[in-house]
Chains A and B, each alone.
Chain A
């Protein structure tokens, strides 16, 4: 299997969809000549032309609104929102319009829209260019929410998102773009709503998303050297959620840590904890631990940023708390 970066994997899914299907097109700020601020769409303008790789004005509301219109008319638009922080500017279109049309029309109107965006700390982007806002969208019925953590997953999940008839908010993580991983020769769609067990273990389940999947895997290696066997599960799709796999894993290990880069409070880990305590109540041998960012706007200074967002050592500490003994 070829090894590609996460960035290349995203680009590959986009290019294949553009090639396969005339109804697919891209919209976003600086995605054409510049190839996107994260260089994901580099080269696509050359292959597919300006009608299908469209630069837009700096108005997220207009971008998403027009994409909704196109989707309702039978297109499969793929929007790039440069930073997920800017999704806040498109909330009305996304939350009140895109998410509602299908049910309000009794199923007569579909909105096959994919909104790609990225965020995440680790490179001093400051408080306004690195938030992790996925939990906001998980709260909205009518949307689907994906957060992929590996090249293979990001390609297969993006494909399924493009061909889903519902609006999908598709999160990528800034620091994962250069991460390499093997992907199958042929693109294999990964169904939405299916979690991935990255590593099997016996003592603790870490349910992690995005960058924290990698941190959790590091923490699991470290824990193993200390005799703690850790299972790492990535839900990959936050909405709909693969409760069966997650709850099943915790029933097996009897302990759980949730981990994401977003702030802990009100984060997706809270929803996971609620689902898990309900589904695995009689199997829990310790309180569910949550790992996330401290409750503060992200500082610019690298040392401070490092302090606020979680890392493998935070996951490891949480793992140890779940297996702790008194005294």
Chain B
């Protein structure tokens, strides 16, 4: 019995993926667990493993974007016919009716299934002309209501849709750019960044800023570095800060939350996303339950995630489930900045560089390493006072890390 290989849902919120290439060809034998194809999702590109042993009988979707649950291939026994449920019954040619007296000469309708595969679920039915117009005018066929037979999208439907939303398309009427302009197509990751951050921009947000004396933070980190054993990752100031923020999140659960469909989900553990710049674009892998980890463990987890993020080897699941995000541009010498929310999270902390600054300490003017942090909050979930209390705790912990115990 052949097994249909369906596009897996690798994580919550994943609706579709793009098949980049197949690592096996039709006719190859495959073992369960062997990498079968490369899948580009809106978060990562990863290899998807075969979930059955056998021979790759058919590749239904050689490449391109498909919805979760779509049959993309069929695995079965060598020489096995693809079983009837996979076969498109409607592909059988209709045998034209003729009157009874000549019935016996009617060609017997073929009982053998035509070996054509189902139209993948979720594929938009559209005429070739409608597809061309949609391509030229940047209309997403998936959102066009088809008025042709069986709901097929026809040219008129696309023209109406294009007329209704002339400016929506990023590809609409691109003026021919002068030769020196480099036109960069958005990657799947880049498109996701664009879409999610645009969504985030719609949230009503407010920002709060504190300047903390980072002397103790720096000193704590130096002590931890001294204790690092041979071969272990050296903790950074960021790793220490991640641990302190997690402690603060546990004390202010309103901030350790996600805003989902008009509900706020508050989480019992601090799953902190770390914004990482990669060649493909911004990635935010998540370190889970940071509130229960040592700084050393955080450093190891962070080093692993960052290096794999830069190599494009993250798994989809590692980008999911964050309850808070830290974005640190300190290494670029940025004093202060405002980060955009990372939905559905309700807050994000923008961390600047630690710089020596004049600070008032116990009534004395001293030069000390100072750290500016700006918290962006989703006002739908958090009030100003809640955000302020959280940020005050973060500042207190930065100035006295031992209080995080």
Contact with A along B125-151 (1 / 0, CB 8 A): 001111110000000000000111111
Whether A1 is near chain B, meaning CB under 8 Å from some CB there, is no
A104 lies within 8 A of chain B by Cβ: no
A159–B142 CA distance with the chains assembled, in angstroms? 55
Task: Determine how close the nearest CB of chain A comes to the CB of B153; give it in whole angstroms.
Answer: 10
Per-position binary interface string of chain A over residues 281-310, scored 1 when its CB falls under 8 Å from any chain B CB and 0 otherwise: 111111000000011110100001001100
CB distance B127 to A325 under 8 Å?
Answer: no
Contact B129 A299 (CB under 8 A): no
CB pair B132–A283 under 8 Å, yes or no, is: yes
Once A304-B99, A325-B149, A326-B147 are accepted as A-B contacts, the answer to whether A283 and B105 lie under 8 Å apart by CB is no
In the complex, how many angstroms separate the beta carbon of B5 from the nearest chain A beta carbon? 29
Asked if A166 lies at the interface with its beta carbon under 8 angstroms from chain B, I say no
B148 near A326 (CB under 8 angstroms)? yes
Q: Is the CB of B151 within 8 A of A326?
A: yes
A67 to B99, CA, bound (A): 42
CB distance from B59 to the nearest CB of A (A): 23
When the two chains form the complex, which single residue of B96, B105, B132, B148 contacts A297, counting CB atoms closer than 8 Å?
B105
- Pairwise interchain contact A282-B132, C-beta atoms closer than 8 A: yes
Given contacts A254-B129, A281-B128, A304-B101, contact A286 B154 (CB under 8 A): yes
- Interface flags for B94-118 (1: CB within 8 Å of A; 0: not) read 0111110110011100000000000
Judge whether A150 is part of the interface by a CB distance below 8 angstroms.
Answer: no
- B95 closest partner in A (C-beta): A295
Residue among B106, B129, B147, B155 with the highest chain A CB neighbour number at 10 A: B129
| Residue B266 is within 8 A (CB to CB) of chain A in the complex | no
- Residues A308 and B154 in contact in the complex (CB < 8 Å), given A285-B127, A286-B148: no
Q: Is A51 an interface residue (CB 8 A)?
A: no
Residue contact B96 to A264, C-beta cutoff 8 Å:
yes
| A304 to B146 alpha-carbon distance, docked (Å) | 39
Q: How far is the CB of A205 from chain B (nearest CB, A)?
A: 13
Instruction: Kindly state whether residue A58 has any CB partner on chain B within 8 Å.
Output: no
How many contacts between A and B, using CB within 8 angstroms? 63
Instruction: Say yes or no for B310: interface residue by CB 8 A criterion.
Output: no
- Whether A308 lies near B129 (C-beta < 8 A) is no
Chain B contact-residue range equals 20 to 34
CB-based contact B105/A296 at 8 Å = yes
Partner of B129, one of A283, A295, A297, A307: A283
Q: Which residues of B contact A324 (CB under 8 A)?
A: 148-149
A286 close to B127 (CB less than 8 A): yes
Identify whether the interface residues of A are mostly helix, strand, loop, or mixed.
Answer: loop
Q: How far is the CA of A285 from the CA of B126 in the complex (A)?
A: 8
**Residues of chain B within 8 A of A286, CB atoms compared:** 127, 148-149, 154
Contact A308 B98 (CB under 8 A): yes
A282–B155 Cα distance when bound, in Å, is 11
B149 pairs with A299, CB closer than 8 A:
no
B92 touches A (CB below 8 Å): no
**B149 nearest CB neighbor, chain A only:** A324
| Residues B154 and A296 in contact, CB atoms below 8 Å apart | no
- Assess whether A326 is in contact with B149, with CB atoms less than 8 Å apart: yes
B156-200 at interface with A (beta carbon < 8 Å): none
B9 in the interface (beta carbon within 8 A): no
Q: Chain B contacts of A294 at CB under 8 A?
A: 96-98
> CB distance B149 to A297 under 8 Å?
no
Q: A285 and B129 in contact (CB under 8 A), knowing A325-B148, A325-B149? A: yes
B152 at the interface (CB under 8 A from A): yes
User: Closest chain A residue to B156 by CB distance?
Assistant: A285
Which of B99, B132, B146 is the most central at the interface, judged by chain A CB atoms within 10 Å of its CB? B99
Specify which chain A residues have a CB less than 8 angstroms from the CB of B128 in the assembled complex.
281-285
Q: Are B127 and A284 in contact (CB under 8 A)?
A: yes
Report B130 CB to chain A, min CB distance, Å. Answer: 7
Complexed CA–CA distance, A294 and B105 (Å): 12
Q: Which residues on A sit within 8 Å (CB–CB) of B96?
A: 264, 294-295
Contact of B106 among A264, A284, A295 (CB under 8 A): A295
In the assembled complex, the Cα of A283 lies from the Cα of B146 at a distance in Å of 17
Known A282-B132, A285-B129; judge A296-B148 contact (CB<8 A).
Answer: no
Please provide the chain B residues from 71 to 99 with a CB less than 8 Å away from any CB of chain A in the complex.
95-99
Q: Are B99 and A307 in contact (CB under 8 A)?
A: yes
Indicate if the CB atoms of A282 and B151 lie closer than 8 Å: no
A321 to B94, CA, bound (A): 16
Q: Beta-carbon contacts of A12-30 to B below 8 Å, as 1s and 0s?
A: 0000000000000000000
How many Å lie between the Cα of A283 and that of B131 in the bound state? Answer: 9
Question: What 4 A-B pairs have minimum CB-CB distances, sorted nearest first?
Answer: A282-B132, A285-B129, A285-B127, A296-B98
Known pairs A282-B131, A283-B129, A324-B148 / 20 extra A-B pairs, C-beta < 8 Å: A254-B155, A264-B96, A282-B129, A285-B155, A286-B127, A286-B148, A295-B96, A295-B98, A295-B107, A296-B98, A296-B102, A296-B106, A299-B99, A299-B101, A304-B101, A308-B98, A326-B148, A326-B149, A326-B151, A326-B152
In the assembled complex, 27 residue pairs joining A and B whose CB atoms fall closer than 8 Å, in A order, are A254-B129, A254-B155, A283-B128, A283-B129, A283-B132, A284-B128, A285-B127, A285-B130, A286-B127, A286-B154, A294-B97, A294-B98, A295-B107, A296-B98, A296-B106, A299-B102, A304-B101, A304-B102, A307-B98, A308-B98, A308-B99, A321-B149, A324-B149, A325-B149, A326-B148, A326-B150, A327-B147
